[in-house]
Structure 1
Amino acid sequence: MTGPRAGGAPEPHDGPGAHDGPGADGAPAGAGGRPLLEMRGITKTFPGVKALSDVRLTVRRGEIHAVCGENGAGKSTLMKVLSGVHPHGSYEGEILFDGEPVAFRDIRASEQRGIVIIHQELALVPYLSIAENIFLGNEQTRRGVIDWNGTQRSAARLLARVGLREKPATPVADLGVGKQQLVEIAKALSKEVRLLILDEPTAALNDEDSRALLGLIGELRETGIACILISHKLNEVRRIADTVTILRDGRTIETLPVRTAPDAEPEVSEDRIIRGMVGRDLDHRFPDRTAYEGEDAGTVALRVTGWTVRHPVDHQRTVVDDVSLTVRRGEIVGVAGLMGAGRTELAMSVFGRSYGQYVAGAVEVDGRPADTRTVPAAVAAGIAYVTEDRKRYGLNLIDTVHRNVSLASLPHLARHGIVDEHEERRVAERYRSSMNIKTPTVFEEVGRLSGGNQQKVVLSKWIHAGPEVLILDEPTRGIDVGAKYEIYTVVDRLAAQGKAVLFISSELPELLGMCDRIYTMAAGRLTGEVSRAEATQEVLMRQMTMDGSRGSS
């Protein structure tokens, strides 16, 4: 038995029809019965902004229901209303769960009814064990004292259910992101989940971990657990979802059936979903390239030779091993690799040696040796790095748009050591317009912007610094297709101006659509280099899975 449900709430098996299995006709479980969840006329207003307007959502038992929309469409706000983060009384409309009106005052109240949300930023304590994390806030007790033996046994059963072989006593910090996601799901199962909400669950996962997680979600469907899946990866939506609801500008646009049975082929195309999300057809996922025609076109702007870096803690472990590469002016060069291949470690170590222990290697910019021993030195040498983790390393979330835009170029905006605030504001306004940053004012706190607009602020910051070489690490992670297209347009414009772009991405279609050449990495080494004409997903995947010791350099 797992621990007692918080607050003594009734077990989820109480009541008619709970946890129905798949229907006899092969339709999603409970699809023909009473809805498990109904959200009617949900309207949520923040000061000066209507985030949700008359939104409707219906989810049935045993259904995987995807919610799609551009950043800022209202997806996260809707889930915060459902889970009690935005408590009853702070929004208009009604929520029915299992046919009964509910009024959640906080997250604990929604969890008592079996609604559990797993956010994109996982809520695990890294220095506690797996078992301690699973039952954190829902501790197994006996006579008022934590029953550690019972906790370990219950955790082991839950880990087996989600397919995780680690011991319950293993610290969460020792797990990769994919396994941490499974711990989160085990934690949800410990709370007798009936409706599981997953917010971008595969955004930080490699292909193998993504397939495993989606497979587990499918298995949960067979037990009658309903799931709301928020994802920008439309191929995954088509692969796993039964139904998709599309939000745009805080409104419900439409709800579409994806498939008639769990094993049936999807009936909705990605283009059809995109049309609902952005309100128009995207004839091309990637903008047409404009070639750079300067006198120095084709000359090498960035040359990295013999770059070798060891792990920052385990100095016996080499994470970047004798890597050599070039990027020419006006060229977009991709770097592909599975998680752990060393792509980010390469980028961060080249940019001011901000990761790991430098061992060997040299960097040249425009044919001259570049001092990259510190971040300021790398910036002075003409190199900029757009991190994959914009919230932790790319932005000051509690500061304004205009302050973030100027962060990397304050010396250019200063007079006699004092920042010219009027010029700082004018620069930010210029980028707000040219980058189409959707914000009511440049004095808006960056943390309040959508992911796509935050990414545009990061790009603006580095573009204004005037680099010759831009290293972009997962520049479109966690943003929608419309915002992706805008980011692609910016990157193409930079290449057309003669900038050299090193483009790291986990999405192979993105690399194939954007890059002139693509390097592949495995185990810290380069395993190949492919031209745009020769590159396919199959070729890249084959080189990404090679033994790094056999690759080319």
Structure 2
Amino acid sequence: MLSVTGLTKVFPGTRALDGADFTARAGEVHALIGENGAGKSTLIKVLTGVYRADGGSVTYQGEQVRFATPLQAQEAGISTIYQEVNLVPLMSVARNLFLGREPRRALGLVDFGRMHREAAQALAALGVRVDVRRPLGELSVGTQQMVALARAVSVNAKVVIMDEPTSSLEPREVETLFGVIRMLRERGIAVVYVSHRLDELYEVCDQVTVLRDGKVVHTGPLAELERLRLVSLMLGRQLGEVRAEGVTKFTGNHAREGRPVLAVDGLSVRHQLEKVSFAVGPGEVVGLGGLLGSGRSETVRAVAGALPPDAGTVAVDGAPVRTGSTPAAIRAGISLLPEDRKAEGIVPGLSVRENIALAALPGLSRFGLVDEKRVDEIVDTFVKRLRIKTSGVGQKVGELSGGNQQKVLLARWLAMHPKVLLLDEPTRGIDVGAKAEVQRLVDELAGEGLSVVLISSDPEELVEGSDRVVVLKDGAVVAELSGDGVSEDHLMAAIATAPSADEQSGKAEIASVVPPEDALLGGSGGGTGAAGKGDGDD
């Protein structure tokens, strides 16, 4: 139905797609998976006319095509459901469902009666019953996602692309979605399914294509690929001696004795986190492991007050910290280095000096006047300590290399003298030399007694830089690695085989990490299972 051959797409400084091949067949559900930056989104945007490929070809229903706009792709029969609902919240549900193809009367006027009837019928077929005259924005995110799904399947699509479609859905809605996917398969429609949730993939997908660094590293029947092998392909790591069968028990040294500096208990955020608990001792580096979308970034954002939790507590040195408040977290000594430094970290138009001093300004001013001398002392200290390469502290931080921008952010938070440093992908997008310097600095800080939480998509970096690794899956803690158990093989086995939060219901809880005598890697995972069978997992 749809295939690409040798697809290449280059952006300044990166090759997002490098000779990628992909085929979606009629009546099949094809999983497209890979970690952050693998090229999934770029491939979808080339297929749907958002981007123009730099090389290769796209064939649709036997003919070579090149869609100039998403509208052309949609009119040809390729529908896309994005993770973020891309509809118009102020318009009615019915208007959104028929946007651009409204039924008309003889004089060209919109036939609202027919539109409302057909919209209600389309949604009822998906198990959704709402007043289609209501503004879309008044509905829950999950219901909006179902409206987007109804729109996609009601345009006589030949190919339906679903990008993380269950991220905002309740379990009941997930089951409804899976029913729709099976219906599409029976109607001979090709479905491209993008998800990081392994259980979902093995339930509804027939084929799988794994992307890594813009290249296809595997394609074939999903039922023939065991989970541990799938995880190793996504992460780019060879399988070691650890296998998926059985239960592996890890023992070893945990956090230093005494009260933990950071204690996280039962943090929950709807659709994102489920009772996440862990602790970090003084001078300890605790890694958060898991695949993209496992809840790692959401966890540190909730700890830092940037993501208000629905339940759970955070404490520093035994004192509770008001959740959902970034100022409260900063006052308690929690600092977060965000994953996206350009969007959430640096202020590119400000100087190196201003970026470093930004968070510390309230403590460096009196009656609204900033102590410029003290600012200079702090900035000079950290520019030297972190070896920030700049023509001068007055240079705009946006002009620095990625590695030096990351050092500026580190300097900003170290100037606050934090007790807990949360590092979300601190070495992503920086060169090898800068990466080594950042890793060295983290080691030094931990050696000085700073408590560190480290997130990295690179298993080697996570394992080498952490004293313990807390593994997350579908927003819940599923395992903890410590001592000799902190290895790439154990990490991949935990990600692939540890039971999800839903599977843990009614079973013994995972050993506490505050800190325990030992930790347990969950059960065998039950193999791959046949495509289209088994229990769903949100």
Which TM-score bucket, shorter chain as reference? 0.5 to 0.7
By relative contact order (CA 8 Å, sep 6+), the higher-ranking structure is 2
Correspondence for 2:479 = 512
User: How far, CA to CA, are the matches of 1:491 and 1:304 in structure 2?
Assistant: 21
Matched, 1:66 2:34: no
What SS does structure 2 have at the residue aligned with 1:51? strand
| Alpha-carbon shift at residue 156 of structure 1 (Å) | 0.9
Contact 2:2 2:61 in 1 (8 A): yes
Matches within 5 A, 1:150-229: 150-205=114-169, 207-229=171-193
Partner of residue 200 from structure 2, selected from 218, 232, 236: 236
Conserved? CA contact 2:27–2:189, under 8 Å = yes
Q: CA deviation at 1:417?
A: 3.7
CA distance, structure 2, for counterparts of residue 196 and residue 243 of structure 1? 15
Give 1:145's match in structure 2, choosing from 100, 103, 109. 109
Given residue 281 of structure 1, which amino acid in structure 2 is its aligned partner? Q
Matched position secondary structure for 1:162: coil
Residue among 306, 310, 317 paired with 1:366: 317
Is residue 47 of structure 2 the alignment partner of residue 98 of structure 1?
no
Q: Per-residue displacement from partner, 1:386-439 (whole Å, max 9, x unpaired)?
A: 89xx77998259959998996985559986446849956985979xxxxxxxxx
- 2:511 matched residue in structure 1: 531
Amino acid at match of 1:269: E
In structure 1, the partner of 2:71 is: 108
Correspondence for 1:299: 259
Structure 2 unpaired stretches of 5+: 268-274, 289-297, 365-371, 390-398, 427-454, 484-500, 503-507, 513-517, 524-538
Q: 2:145·2:168 contact (CA, 8 Å) conserved in 1?
A: no
Q: Which residue of 2 aligns with 1:251?
A: 215
Q: Compared with structure 1, are the counterparts of its residues 356 and 54 closer, same or farther at alpha carbon in structure 2 (3 Å cutoff)?
A: closer
Normalised TM-score (structure 2): 0.62
Higher alpha-carbon deviation: 325-334 or 203-212:
325-334
Matched, 1:279 2:236: yes
Correspondence 1:395 to 2:344: yes
**Cα offset, 1:228, TM superposition:** 0.8
| Cα displacement (A) at 1:459 | 9.8
1:203 Cα offset (Å): 3.5
Structure 2 residue aligned with 1:123: 86
Please report how far the alpha carbon of residue 244 of structure 1 lies from its aligned counterpart in structure 2 after TM superposition: 1.0
Q: Structure 2 CA distance, aligned partners of 1:233 and 1:116? A: 22
Q: Give the aligned CA root-mean-square deviation in angstroms.
A: 5.6
Q: Any conservation in 2 of the 1:178–1:210 contact (CA below 8 Å)? A: no
CA distance in 1, matches of 2:17, 2:68: 19
CA contact (8 A) 1:290 1:492 kept: no
Looking at structure 2, the residues matched to 460 and 194 of structure 1 have their Cα atoms a distance apart, in angstroms, of 52
Distance in 2, Cα, partners of 1:77 & 1:382: 39
- When residues 91 and 345 of structure 1 are mapped into structure 2, their CA distance, relative to the original with a 3 A threshold, is closer
Give the Å deviation of 1:208: 4.5
Q: 1:402 and 1:488 mapped to 2: Cα distance?
A: 34
The amino acid of 1:141's aligned partner reads R
| 3-state DSSP of counterpart to 1:380 | helix
Unaligned runs of 5+ in 1: 1-35, 259-265, 308-322, 335-343, 431-439, 447-453, 476-482, 523-527, 539-553
Q: SS state of the match for residue 479, structure 2?
A: helix
Partner of 2:533: none
Match of 1:376 among 322, 327, 345: 327
Cα displacement (A) at 1:243: 0.9
Alpha-carbon distance between aligned partners in 2 of 1:181 and 1:513, rounded to the nearest angstrom: 34
Alpha-carbon distance change, 139 to 426 in structure 1, aligned in 2, over 3 angstroms: farther
Q: Note the C-alpha offset of 1:227.
A: 0.8
- Does the 8 Å contact 1:289/1:492 carry over to 2? no
**Partner SS for 1:531:** coil
Q: Deviations over 1:319-348 (max 9, x none)?
A: xxxx9x9956369799xxxxxxxxx89985
In 2, Cα distance between equivalents of 1:106 and 1:428: 46
Encode CA deviations 1:14-53: one digit per residue, 9 max, x unaligned.
xxxxxxxxxxxxxxxxxxxxxx112122111222322222
Q: Which residue of 2 aligns with 1:78?
A: 43
Measured in 2, the distance between the counterparts of 1:445 and 1:154 equals: 56
Q: 2: distance between equivalents of 1:401 and 1:491?
A: 36
Q: Once the 2 structures are TM-superposed, how far is the Cα of residue 465 of structure 1 from its aligned partner?
A: 5.7
**Aligned amino acid, residue 344 of structure 2:** L
Report % sequence identity: 33
Distance 1:362 1:467, change over 3 A: same
Mapped partners of 1:397, 1:225: distance in 2: 45
* Residue 451 of structure 2: aligned partner: none
Amino acid at match of 2:317: D
The alignment partner of 1:214 has SS state of helix
The answer to whether the Cα contact below 8 Å between 1:38 and 1:59 also exists between their aligned partners in 2 is yes
Once residues 428 and 205 of structure 1 are traced to their aligned partners in structure 2, the CA distance between those partners, rounded to angstroms, is 46
Sort the Cα spacing of 1:163 and 1:224 in 2 relative to 1 into closer, same or farther, 3 A. farther
Distance 1:199 1:304, change over 3 A: closer
Which runs of structure 2 are paired with 1:23-38 in the superposition (5 Å)?
36-38=1-3
Runs of 4+ in 1 over 6 A off after TM superposition: 284-290, 331-334, 344-347, 369-373, 390-394, 400-405, 456-464, 470-473, 501-505, 533-538
Instruction: State the shift of 1:72 in Å.
Output: 1.6
Indicate the SS of the match to 2:162. Answer: strand
Task: Return the offset for 1:229.
Answer: 1.2
